[in-house]
Amino acid sequence: MSTITGKAPIDKANRASQARFVCRSCGVVAHADWNGSRNIRHRAEELWRRGAQSTAPDPPPNNTGRGTGRKPSTTASGARCASPRLSVPGG
């Protein structure tokens, strides 16, 4: 189903192809993914304004105490990549 952000009714015929959105009512043409992302954002903003609570589960606890648990980066030769240091003014 396809719609333009903030506009109704929804018409399946608006989705001209997998990648193309064409509004049959007003003629707006947009990339379908871009239009879809705007629709999702618009719906989220409406829910936020109404005070809706998130139903997303909490992330699992990080029991390692060592950050995100990602592996260190390596180069093609297997050498570890050095992380750039941030320079702090006066430090």
Neighbours of 47 (CB within 10 A): 12
More confident residue, 65 or 61: 61
Mean pLDDT of 24-38: 88
Predicted TM-score of the model (pTM): 0.47
Contacts of residue 61, defined as CB under 8 A and 6 or more positions apart, other chains included, come to: none
